């Protein structure tokens, strides 16, 4: 059963000016599409052909690099698109706000640490807000298309928020300035969706 690329939950230009239209078109229509296509190629005719994306990602340590990278790419990007929304931003409220304040001191301190995780990721990868097995929130970063759900993750947990820090996520608008991209992204974070995941 082949995986398919779902349409974005908003228009390609909906996240302007923080994420530009061309970046969104290429990121979703080319990069994410390629992860889906290459995942389908990698599982075709193998024992992994009928597994769910969740099952594949959770067993990343025992599947081929092609399935790990492209399966992770499909999972991560689907999660990322759903973490963003036009006209979003602001700050979390309710139980999520309490959890963030409890774990990091304040929303501002959380953002500082999250941005540091994104900037500190050498090369390509992701920054994550996760909830760990003990119920505590934590910030982590993964290389390439790995994620905190994977059995190989250094810090495991259930992702609440993930931000793509590959250059393809920001280079057209922000060039080498990953920090500027990570400063702007807060304007389009869908805190309602993040809170639902808690």
The site for Mn ion, by CB under 5 A, has a size of: 2
**Closer residue to Mn ion (CB): 78 or 91:** 78
User: To the nearest whole angstrom, how small is the minimum distance from the Cβ of residue 187 to Mn ion?
Assistant: 19
Rule CB under 5 A: choose which of 75, 79, 126, 166 binds Mn ion. 166
Per CB under 5 A, the segment of 14-22, 53-61, 103-111, 163-171 that binds Mn ion is: 163-171
Phi-psi region of 102 (alpha: psi -120 to 50; beta: other; left: phi over 0): alpha
User: To the nearest whole angstrom, how small is the minimum distance from the Cβ of residue 156 to Mn ion?
Assistant: 21
Per CB under 5 A, the segment of 17-25, 104-112, 128-136, 161-169 that binds Mn ion is: 161-169
Rounded Cα–Cα distance for residues 173 and 19 (Å): 8
- Stretch 108-147: interaction string toward Mn ion, x if CB under 5 A: ----------------------------------------
Q: Are 165 and 118 in contact (CB under 8 A)?
A: yes
In this structure, the dihedral spanned by the alpha carbons of residues 142, 145, 149 and 155, taken in order and rounded to 10 degrees, is -10
Q: What are phi and psi of 161, to 5 degrees?
A: -150, 135
Asked if 12 interacts with Mn ion (CB under 5 A), we say: no
Residues in region 27-66 near Mn ion by CB under 5 A: none
The residue number with the shortest CB distance to Mn ion is 164
Distance between the two ends of the chain, CA-based, in angstroms? 30
Asked if 164 interacts with Mn ion (CB under 5 A), we say: yes
Cα-trace Rg, the chain: 16
Rounded Cα–Cα distance for residues 142 and 144 (Å): 7
Give the binding site for Mn ion (CB under 5 A). 164, 166
């Amino acid at each position: 059963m082949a995986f398919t690329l779902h349409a974005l939950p908003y228009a390609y230009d909906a996240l302007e000016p923080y994420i530009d239209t061309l970046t969104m078109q290429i990121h979703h229509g080319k990069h994410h599409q390629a992860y889906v296509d290459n995942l389908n190629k990698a599982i075709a005719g193998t024992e992994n052909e009928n597994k769910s994306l969740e099952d594949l990602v959770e067993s990343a340590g025992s599947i081929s690099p092609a399935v790990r990278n492209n399966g992770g790419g499909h999972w991560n990007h689907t999660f990322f698109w759903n973490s963003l929304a036009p006209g979003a931003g602001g700050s979390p409220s309710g139980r999520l706000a309490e959890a963030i304040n409890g774990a990091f001191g304040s929303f501002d301190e959380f953002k500082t640490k999250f941005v540091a995780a994104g900037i500190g990721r050498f090369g390509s990868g992701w920054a994550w807000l996760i909830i760990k097995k003990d119920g505590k929130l934590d910030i982590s970063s993964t290389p390439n298309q790995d994620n905190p759900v994977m059995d190989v993750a250094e810090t495991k947990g259930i992702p609440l928020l993930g931000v793509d820090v590959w250059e393809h996520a920001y280079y057209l608008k922000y060039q080498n300035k990953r920090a500027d991209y990570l400063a702007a992204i807060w304007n389009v974070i869908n805190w309602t969706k993040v809170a639902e995941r808690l």
